[in-house]
């Protein structure tokens, strides 16, 4: 058995290296059941205080998807994808959803009275006095994490997936009825790639990773020497 194939980190690197398709094959659909499973995985994304602010508007209807092309400033990916998922971050889950989230956690055996009191206190301290701009920034970060998970889940399901951020957000809001208390994080277009693209590569770890202090070079040679079997990490982990 090839160990590298079963290494979860290698598998994840493979999904990231698969990359963003330049075009989707518009003739190849994606099964509803598979898309549902992909969304279910993305909905497991963790969030601050487990407030779960990510929301997904799934656009499947071809005419609706095509209408997103001008909204994506001419980008053909949304129109040609089998499904477009608009990822949102809800600004006010601490006001409207906390009771239900606590009750669900209690049902799972994951919430005691003491933990609930602590959680409510921490939520009030961290979010209770925040203005809308700060809440929007937090919702955007949470939703973007869910979008990243969605991208990886789609690829793990054998599909191609593209994150598109360059959007006319006011036009998107108006077309899909997205209310002001939801941040638009981006869209994840999902389908089958028209062609396999070569991976463009990434900056070396030594260039993007600092050692304990910004600007202090990460000791990449030492970290490589620590690889358990003595071999260099594969290209995907470099
Ligand atoms: C947060 C984010 C926003 C992106 N926005 C766009 C976009 O607006 N339009 C687009 O065509 N690609 C977009 N992409 C795709 C990137 O251009 C692509 O991931 C990058 O060039 C690396 O290529 P690869 O994914 O093939 O490795 C985005 C990717 C990310 C992660």
State the pLDDT confidence band at 5, using cuts at 50, 70 and 90: low
Region 211-230: what's the mean pLDDT?
Answer: 69
**Angstrom distance (rounded) from CA 88 to CA 43:** 12
What predicted TM-score, i.e. pTM, was given to this entire model? Answer: 0.91
CB contact at 8 A, 46 and 154: no
Which ligand 1 atom is nearest residue 17's CA?
A: 27
* pLDDT per position as a tens digit, 59-109: 999 999 999 999 999 999 999 999 999 999 999 999 999 999 999 999 999
Tokens 């889940």 sit on residue: 153
The CATH homologous superfamily to which domain 22-194 belongs is NADH Oxidase (3.40.109.10)
Least confident of 152-156, 210-214, 220-224: 220-224
Is residue 196's pLDDT more than 60?
yes
Residue 188's pLDDT is 98
Distances (CA, A) of 102 to 25, 50, 75, 108: 43, 9, 41, 10
Pocket test of ligand 1: the residue of 165, 197, 199 to mutate, having most ligand atoms within 8 Å of its CB, is: 165
Name which residue sits closest to atom 7 of ligand 1, judged by CA: 164
Distance 151 CA to ligand 1 centre (A): 11
Residue 12's pLDDT is 97
Distance 162 CA to ligand 1 centre (A): 7
**Angstrom distance (rounded) from CA 94 to CA 135:** 10
φ/ψ (deg, to 5) at 29: -80, 170
φ/ψ (deg, to 5) at 48: -55, 125
To the nearest 10 degrees (0 to 180), the angle between helices 32-42 and 132-156 is 130
Segments making up each domain of the chain, as ranges = 22-194, 198-238
Distance 164 CA to ligand 1 centre (A): 6
With a Cβ cut-off of 6 Å, ligand 1 is lined by: 19-20, 75, 77, 162-166, 186, 200
**Angstrom distance (rounded) from CA 234 to CA 162:** 24
> Would you put residue 50 in left (φ > 0), alpha (ψ -120 to 50) or beta?
left
CB contact at 8 A, 45 and 140: no
Region 194-214: what's the mean pLDDT?
Answer: 93
Which ligand 1 atom is nearest residue 197's CA?
A: 26
Name which residue sits closest to atom 19 of ligand 1, judged by CA: 20
């Amino acid at each position: 058995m090839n160990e590298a194939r079963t290494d979860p980190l290698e598998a994840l690197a493979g999904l990231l290296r698969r990359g963003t398709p330049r075009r989707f094959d518009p003739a190849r659909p994606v099964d509803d059941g598979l898309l549902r499973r992909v969304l279910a995985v993305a909905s497991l994304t963790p969030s601050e205080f487990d407030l779960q602010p990510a929301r997904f508007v799934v656009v499947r209807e071809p005419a609706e998807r095509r209408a997103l092309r001008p909204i994506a400033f001419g980008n053909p990916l949304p129109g040609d994808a089998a499904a477009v998922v608009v990822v949102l971050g809800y600004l006010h889950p601490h006001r409207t959803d906390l009771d239900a989230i606590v009750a669900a956690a209690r049902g799972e055996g994951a919430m005691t009275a003491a933990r609930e009191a602590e959680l409510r206190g921490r939520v009030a301290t961290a979010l209770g006095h925040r203005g809308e701009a700060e809440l929007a920034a937090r919702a955007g970060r949470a939703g973007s994490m869910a979008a990243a998970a969605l991208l990886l889940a789609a690829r793990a399901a054998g599909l191609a997936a593209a994150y598109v951020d360059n959007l006319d957000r006011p036009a998107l809001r108006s077309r899909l009825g997205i209310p002001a208390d939801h941040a638009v994080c981006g869209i994840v277009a999902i389908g089958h790639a028209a062609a396999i693209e070569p991976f463009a590569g990434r900056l070396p770890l030594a260039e993007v990773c600092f050692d304990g202090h910004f600007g202090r070079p990460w000791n990449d040679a030492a970290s490589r020497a620590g690889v358990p079997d003595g071999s260099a990490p594969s290209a995907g982990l470099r």
